[in-house]
Chain A
């Protein structure tokens, strides 16, 4: 089964980011926007990961 390297990296990054930030998010107090910062980082990484996938799609 072929998995593009960039997608594997994306998976690893998402997993590590989740582990590292879950306590930080839960200890937010009034800083409710913390999960969205993490989500935004994930979206940025995803946009990088899919940058090289575009050529694979046919019309």
Chain B
């Protein structure tokens, strides 16, 4: 069974075109985001790790080592299952600082461009065999299917196609900045194809090769060698080393780093992958043994590694062979595309940019893209050249082991990023040099040299790999301890190490606004690039362009460094940022920025447990107290930067804490700036009743301040805390109470005057009666009668005044008598008519003569007068007020209705609150309706307010009082 070469080429071209099509429609947004960002896509894209090694190599490994072939799946699965220990913290770091490769990460942590350069060189040399391995496997399997085709021409054709597609895939977007959704979808698709093909081939091996499970079991029992290799699996030597190689590959291999940390899409994707990827590799491992056994039974003569393709040939099933070939092509192409993209980034950032940087006048993005394309091409063809070098006798497994052993040399450096703050670049160099010093002559050289004996190395590769790692670790530890860390390295360690939250002290920047940033960065980047980068950083942070807060400027600087790191690598980015956006004050190591510390603890909160969690709860509790304190709290640093602005202050000043925290005190708007600056400048700690105008209204505050001392150091000045107490309401109440007191005094005076006037009036009335009685039928009788009537009227008025003044003076002495409502209304009418404000008031009275209740007439009078006065205030001059009293069954309804503006809905619920008033200060006390409410309740009545009374016009208010009718029996009891 042979295939024509054009068939295989066409199959490969169509398949790669399909991959590109998937990437294209994803980039165009034709696939919904919920699909693109689904964790399953992330898991499948991580399946890129299952390259030719996991597709073909494991079959040979299964023959030699039994279950030992599972070591690669177990290694990578453990890395993801234990992701909270390594991958998740690294993911946070790479996201925060836009680190797109291992070289970026190590250069960032060890603060040396040389670390990035050396890492790139070692990885470049180390993974070239891996690229060669993919090319060789594709060419070898094509050879099996089409023996007539030239091995070389197949490899060339594959490399041309893959170069084209890698360039198209990887350079359509800006490097390092955006997630390559299209690429990730395409890689996920190829992982799916690979898995499907392998499972189908495995299924065919069982049912096509043996006729079923039972038959395969029976055949296996007749193969003692195969059973023996499974039973003699050595889990404690090569298995462990191999698992460790693949564990470290999860971070150290460029393609895994690229997909794990740059392709992470949605929330929870890594958690999903922590069991999803192990499941993927479990499924990939399942068909390996049936394929191996079916190949042996079918008598395939090709190398064991290529049994997935060969069993179709052996059992004369061309479709199975073609599907297996497609799976292999998928595994190889996926890895080559991703690994060359990742490596091109590394080479650009750490090999090319340190030597040659684009001129500011050039389009930096185009410049970078062109070089990436060249690098991708060079890397693929370097792999092509390498695939000729190794002897055919060298297995796929060995080439893979060489590549993964190179990645192992970075494990100490990677682990130290998170767990060892004392690590430094010199220690890293010493360790890496020791490890690579063993790896290169014992692993790499035998691949390159025909004369070098390889057979001995094959036997001892496990010990050699383990030895290189141990020596690497020891050299790294001793080197780091011997040389010590620089201040810069310690700062970097603070940023990366788990459990450490020390940060640099806040420092001012020379650039004070986004405009200044653009101006400064235009020198190295050009105006267009600088504008775009600053704009992107502002967008990322959600900041406005006119934001000038120092805190915002520091954030902007950090984000720009991170974004430029994604574009140019961390070393160049840091160099540009340090040179062109310097701090105005040199910061000190060891001091802390409270805001940054809080943000860090907040982000890490769910990881705290035990005493740390309790302490954090205590911190949050204290912070919450300050935030919720009903007093305004403003905390300032020693350089007058605003650190805290609590909620009470937000409400009072109408300035959001988000707008003001991090800015200088001098950035505050008026009147707050003058108020606070004057107070801080004064030599007093408390200032009472400071008044100022705000929105055309007078506001009054009490201010208090205290200096914050560093714990344990008296006299040190860490900052200042200011308390602001809003006294505006209190002052209004005080004015109201003063007014009320004045009115009460007048009332008492009026009662006294009324009493004093009463005696002469009585005298006048007596004299008038005498005249009337003495001079009957004369003109004087009529005059005397008029005097008597007027004195009666005056007496009534005086009596009402005295009664009203005395009403409520003794709450325990209320009358409980029959109160005739009509009398009460008449008395109220008399009293209100004395107020000159009521001269134009039209009172309409509609009262049942018999309407009566049980209670105190003077208290009811007080209710009516208060309601009439309120109705008057709400009415227009000369307006009408209707007083009505009706017997309604067992109740008496008394209503006071005006036709004024009505009561706004917003304040309806508050009108009975004590001291609530809509009148100007001094005009009303806010106690009237509150008093009415309590009196009505005392009289067993209830009160309703209907406003608007006239619903069509939306005007008028009716206050409706309901009391039980007078009941003589009840009155007696």
> Which residues from chain A sit less than 8 Å from chain B, CB to CB?
1-5, 7, 10-11, 14, 18, 22, 25-32, 35-36, 39-40, 42-44, 46-47, 49-51, 53-59
Instruction: Report yes or no: A27 in contact with B231, Cβ–Cβ below 8 A.
Output: yes
Query: Closest Cβ of chain B: how far from A9's Cβ, in Å?
Result: 12
Instruction: Report yes or no: B85 in contact with A40, Cβ–Cβ below 8 A.
Output: no
Instruction: Report yes or no: A46 in contact with B275, Cβ–Cβ below 8 A.
Output: yes
Interface members, chain B 562-584 (any A CB < 8 Å): none
Instruction: Report yes or no: B92 in contact with A58, Cβ–Cβ below 8 A.
Output: yes
User: How long is the Cα–Cα vector from A7 to B88 in the complex, in angstroms?
Assistant: 13
18 further A-B pairs in the complex, CB-CB below 8 A; given A14-B81, A50-B272, A53-B271: A1-B498, A2-B498, A3-B84, A5-B609, A7-B84, A10-B82, A30-B217, A30-B220, A31-B217, A35-B70, A36-B285, A36-B286, A39-B282, A42-B81, A47-B275, A50-B81, A56-B606, A58-B92
Query: Closest Cβ of chain A: how far from B587's Cβ, in Å?
Result: 27
Query: Closest Cβ of chain B: how far from A49's Cβ, in Å?
Result: 8
* 12 contacts across the A-B interface (CB closer than 8 A): A2-B607, A3-B85, A4-B607, A25-B67, A32-B220, A49-B81, A53-B83, A53-B274, A56-B84, A56-B271, A56-B607, A58-B603
Residue of A nearest to B67 (CB): A35
User: How long is the Cα–Cα vector from A50 to B81 in the complex, in angstroms?
Assistant: 8
Chain A interface SS verdict (over half): helix
User: How long is the Cα–Cα vector from A3 to B609 in the complex, in angstroms?
Assistant: 9
Which residues of chain B are near A55, meaning CB under 8 Å? Answer: 268, 606
Which residues of chain B are near A3, meaning CB under 8 Å? Answer: 84-85
Instruction: Report yes or no: A4 in contact with B275, Cβ–Cβ below 8 A.
Output: no
Query: Closest Cβ of chain A: how far from B333's Cβ, in Å?
Result: 28
Query: Closest Cβ of chain B: how far from A2's Cβ, in Å?
Result: 5
Contact indicator per residue, chain B 279-302, by CB within 8 Å of chain A (1) or not (0): 100100110010000000000000
Known: A7-B84, A11-B82, A40-B282. Contact between A58 and B275, CB under 8 A? no
Chain B interface SS verdict (over half): helix
Contact indicator per residue, chain B 733-744, by CB within 8 Å of chain A (1) or not (0): 000000000000
Which residues of chain A are near B701, meaning CB under 8 Å? Answer: none
Residue of A nearest to B235 (CB): A22
> Which residues from chain B sit less than 8 Å from chain A, CB to CB?
67, 70, 81-85, 88, 91-92, 95, 217-218, 220-221, 227, 230-231, 233, 235, 266-272, 274-275, 278-279, 282, 285-286, 289, 419, 498-499, 603, 606-609
Which residues of chain A are near B230, meaning CB under 8 Å? Answer: 26, 28, 32
Query: Closest Cβ of chain B: how far from A33's Cβ, in Å?
Result: 8
Instruction: Report yes or no: A46 in contact with B606, Cβ–Cβ below 8 A.
Output: no
Residue of A nearest to B82 (CB): A7
Instruction: Report yes or no: A4 in contact with B84, Cβ–Cβ below 8 A.
Output: yes
Residue of B nearest to A31 (CB): B217
Query: Closest Cβ of chain A: how far from B131's Cβ, in Å?
Result: 30
Which residues of chain B are near A5, meaning CB under 8 Å? Answer: 609
Known: A4-B607, A43-B282. Contact between A57 and B217, CB under 8 A? no
Which residues of chain A are near B233, meaning CB under 8 Å? Answer: 26
User: How long is the Cα–Cα vector from A14 to B230 in the complex, in angstroms?
Assistant: 21
Which residues of chain B are near A39, meaning CB under 8 Å? Answer: 70, 278, 282, 285
Known: A2-B499, A36-B282. Contact between A54 and B603, CB under 8 A? no
User: How long is the Cα–Cα vector from A23 to B452 in the complex, in angstroms?
Assistant: 41
Which residues of chain B are near A50, meaning CB under 8 Å? Answer: 81, 83, 271-272, 274-275
Q: Which 3 A-B pairs have the closest CB atoms?
A: A54-B268, A47-B275, A46-B275
Instruction: Report yes or no: A29 in contact with B227, Cβ–Cβ below 8 A.
Output: yes
Instruction: Report yes or no: B88 in contact with A57, Cβ–Cβ below 8 A.
Output: yes
Set A18, A31, A57: member contacting B271, Cβ < 8 A: A57
Instruction: Report yes or no: B275 in contact with A28, Cβ–Cβ below 8 A.
Output: no
Set A30, A40, A46, A54: member contacting B221, Cβ < 8 A: A30
Interface core residue of A5, A18, A44, A53 (most chain B CB under 10 Å):
A53
Query: Closest Cβ of chain B: how far from A8's Cβ, in Å?
Result: 10
Instruction: Report yes or no: A57 in contact with B606, Cβ–Cβ below 8 A.
Output: no
Which residues of chain B are near A56, meaning CB under 8 Å? Answer: 84, 88, 271, 606-607
Query: Closest Cβ of chain B: how far from A34's Cβ, in Å?
Result: 9
User: How long is the Cα–Cα vector from A43 to B286 in the complex, in angstroms?
Assistant: 14
Known: A27-B231, A43-B275. Contact between A57 and B70, CB under 8 A? no
Which residues of chain A are near B275, meaning CB under 8 Å? Answer: 43-44, 46-47, 49-50
Known: A46-B81, A57-B88. Contact between A2 and B282, CB under 8 A? no
User: How long is the Cα–Cα vector from A1 to B85 in the complex, in angstroms?
Assistant: 9
Residue of A nearest to B268 (CB): A54
Which residues of chain B are near A31, meaning CB under 8 Å? Answer: 217
Query: Closest Cβ of chain A: how far from B71's Cβ, in Å?
Result: 12
Set A26, A36, A43, A57: member contacting B270, Cβ < 8 A: A57
Instruction: Report yes or no: A1 in contact with B419, Cβ–Cβ below 8 A.
Output: yes
User: How long is the Cα–Cα vector from A23 to B269 in the complex, in angstroms?
Assistant: 36
Which residues of chain B are near A36, meaning CB under 8 Å? Answer: 282, 285-286
